[in-house]
Amino acid sequence: MTQNILCEVSSCVHNVNQENKCGATQIYVVNNKSKNASNSEETDCKTFEPTS
């Protein structure tokens, strides 16, 4: 499994030094519309935590 997770969400605490690299120990992605997503727009990252 890859260790290089990219993310451009600058308002997330896991965005390491705002360099678009996710520093979370694990990533949790879920479907947001149906049971079987057919594209990335139909998924959500539940790992997101807002910066304070």
Kindly list the domain boundaries of the chain, sorted by start residue. 1-52
Tokens found for residue 4: 């290089």
The pLDDT assigned to 23 comes to 92
The pLDDT assigned to 1 comes to 52
The pLDDT assigned to 50 comes to 95
Q: Of all residues in the chain, what percent are helix, strand and coil, respectively (each to 5)?
A: 10, 25, 65
Residue 22 backbone class (left: φ over 0; alpha: ψ -120 to 50; beta: rest): beta
The pLDDT assigned to 20 comes to 92
pTM of the model: 0.76
The pLDDT assigned to 36 comes to 87
The pLDDT assigned to 34 comes to 74
The pLDDT assigned to 33 comes to 76
Spans in the chain with pLDDT lower than 70:
1-2
